[in-house]
Chain A
Amino acid sequence: MKEQLRMYKLLAAASLRSRMQYKFNFWFSTIMAAVINVVEFAMLAVILAKFGHIKGWSLEEAGYLYAVLTLSKAIYRTLASDVHHLEHYLVSGDLDNLLLRPIPILLGLMSQNVSFRIGEVLQGMTVLILCMRELFQHGQITWTAIPYTVVIVLSGALLLFAIGLLTASLGFWLTRIEELQTITEDAARTAVQYPVSIYPKWMQGMLLTAIPVAFANYVPSLYLLRGEGGIGLLIASPVVAACLFAAGLLLWRRGLMRYQSTGT
């Protein structure tokens, strides 16, 4: 295991180095990613600044939901960028290369095209700090919120990874998964950027069960920010994330058995 992690670090560093050969592109795309994120959040901020709250969620609370999710996504995409792009490997047969490496295939895949999501991290941290400061001043949260937030961000990252892994694994059966990913990863994640209570009941149900991405921010925040439910809500998010990730690994293994590579 230790040996494998060392290999992962080596490969990830190599991938990062190759990316840094194009320094201008690297920094530019980083800045652009940040700009797009800022604009996305600005839309929510403009609406809430004008109308005060959305279904009882203030700007600080909604901002907290948004920031936590942004950070989780940044961690997931930094560590496992190409899990999201598995389709390319399946269609081109590039997965063959990874099969030959002396490390687990998933770890090999994760070490490809490593990119630090600096833009998203910066933006997420800024929004998070601003929102939490406001919440402190209103006495809505105490110092314990900081370690809890770390737990929420990390389990959110694991949860997003798990959902990504499950979807990607289906690729071994379906080959074309980009459209499916748009629904399970992008649309679902976009949905929980906003307080889940704004959606009709069936959609809330979907986000809690079928694609349980609400556990990444909304469910633990109910307890942390508004004292609803019990601490169980907070514990639920790492538990759900771990279970889903285990399921993802299982499906990944089964899928890999079916991998047939491509013809020439």
Chain B
Amino acid sequence: MLFLTLARKTYRRNLQYRGAHMVHNLASAIFGFIYVSIWVGIGQSQSLGTYGLNGMISYVAFNQVSLWVVSFLTNGLGIEQSVRTGQIATDLMRPVHFFYQLMCREWGQIAYQLLYKSIPIYALYLLVLPLHVPSSMITFLWTAVALALAAYISICINYLIGAAALWTTESRWLYWVNYAFSMLLSGFLIPVEWLPGWLRVLSHASFYPFLHYIPSKLYLGLEDASSLLGSAGWCALLTGLCLFVTSRMRRKVEVHGG
């Protein structure tokens, strides 16, 4: 119940700005279109492996759509801000686990972004691009599960980034480092198997492929559901890490006067 209340609050708050967000969607769609054009440019003179030209168009377009569910979350779940204002002390005192609290709020954010960002952009791409649409319901189902797990991984990562602010006061830079790495290693623009050797190893050793690469390949029907075990594994591992960090956090809080 608490979960729904918290999630609904964030959702409603975002709803106020949906007009501005729609304009922003246009910009986001253009960005995706730029990335698609790169592969169309490449694909005109050479073959694009197992994907083919249409497959690559769908792959990149789908990644742009899912960006709003798995990548663009609240910067560090807003922890950095509450460290600065001192709000963190109150937040940690609440009778709900800190991680659970923030996670619930973030799910509201994700639900909003799915409905008002991802789906409109997807609809637009369906109209203007030769987008691959899975023929079976089960593919949709697995893709949805993969995206949900990816979103959860991203929540955990942002929680850890935010939590770093308790030790370093500033953690915005970590958010951007994560963003940069995720661009390269998650297969957002380049499928992981096409990365040069050492980057590929690095990517496979991390959770990044489960953010974009696996969901997109599931969507294209090029991957089977067993790869979701990897997503689930990372979710469990990161949850443990988040819980551990929270227990550390409670002992670390300092409130500055001012």
Residues of A within 8 A of B (CB): 25, 28-29, 32, 35-36, 39-40, 42-44, 46-47, 49-55, 176, 179-180, 182-183, 186-187, 190-191, 194-195, 197-200, 203
Could you tell me if B38 and A54 are in contact, using CB atoms closer than 8 angstroms?
Answer: yes
Residue of B nearest to A183 (CB): B27
Q: A25-B170, A182-B24 are in contact. Are A198 and B41 (CB under 8 A)?
A: yes
Residue of B nearest to A28 (CB): B173
Could you tell me if B38 and A194 are in contact, using CB atoms closer than 8 angstroms?
Answer: yes
Q: A47-B38, A47-B42, A199-B37 are in contact. Are A29 and B190 (CB under 8 A)?
A: no
Q: How far is the CA of A203 from the CA of B31 in the complex (A)?
A: 12
Q: A186-B27, A187-B30 are in contact. Are A46 and B194 (CB under 8 A)?
A: yes
A-B residue pairs, 5 tightest by C-beta? A198-B41, A179-B23, A182-B27, A39-B180, A187-B30
Residues in B whose Cβ lies below 8 Å from that of A36: 176, 179-180
Q: How far is the CA of A55 from the CA of B46 in the complex (A)?
A: 10
- 15 residue pairs of the A-B complex, CB under 8 angstroms, read A32-B173, A39-B181, A39-B184, A43-B184, A46-B184, A46-B199, A49-B196, A51-B42, A55-B45, A179-B23, A179-B24, A179-B27, A190-B34, A194-B34, A203-B33
Q: Is B138 an interface residue (CB 8 A)?
A: no
Q: Is B177 an interface residue (CB 8 A)?
A: yes
Number of interface residues of B (CB under 8 A): 32
Task: Report whether over half of chain B's contact residues are helix, strand or loop; otherwise say mixed.
Answer: helix
Chain B contacts with A in 163-202, Cβ cutoff 8 A: 170, 173, 176-177, 179-181, 183-184, 189-190, 194-196, 199
Could you tell me if B177 and A35 are in contact, using CB atoms closer than 8 angstroms?
Answer: yes
Residues of B within 8 A of A (CB): 20, 23-24, 26-27, 30-31, 33-34, 37-38, 40-42, 44-46, 170, 173, 176-177, 179-181, 183-184, 189-190, 194-196, 199
Residue of A nearest to B196 (CB): A46
Q: How far is the CA of A123 from the CA of B222 in the complex (A)?
A: 37
- In the complex, what's the smallest C-beta–C-beta distance from A211 to chain B, in angstroms? 11
Q: How far is the CA of A39 from the CA of B181 in the complex (A)?
A: 7
Could you tell me if B41 and A183 are in contact, using CB atoms closer than 8 angstroms?
Answer: no
- The contact of A46 among B27, B45, B170, B190, by CB within 8 Å, is B190
Residue of A nearest to B20 (CB): A179
Q: Which of B33, B42, B184 is packed against the most chain A CB atoms within 10 Å?
A: B42
Residues in B whose Cβ lies below 8 Å from that of A194: 34, 37-38, 41
Q: How far is the CA of A123 from the CA of B223 in the complex (A)?
A: 37
Could you tell me if B180 and A35 are in contact, using CB atoms closer than 8 angstroms?
Answer: yes
Residues in A whose Cβ lies below 8 Å from that of B183: 39-40, 43
- In the complex, what's the smallest C-beta–C-beta distance from A59 to chain B, in angstroms? 12
- In the complex, what's the smallest C-beta–C-beta distance from B127 to chain A, in angstroms? 15
Q: How far is the CA of A55 from the CA of B43 in the complex (A)?
A: 9
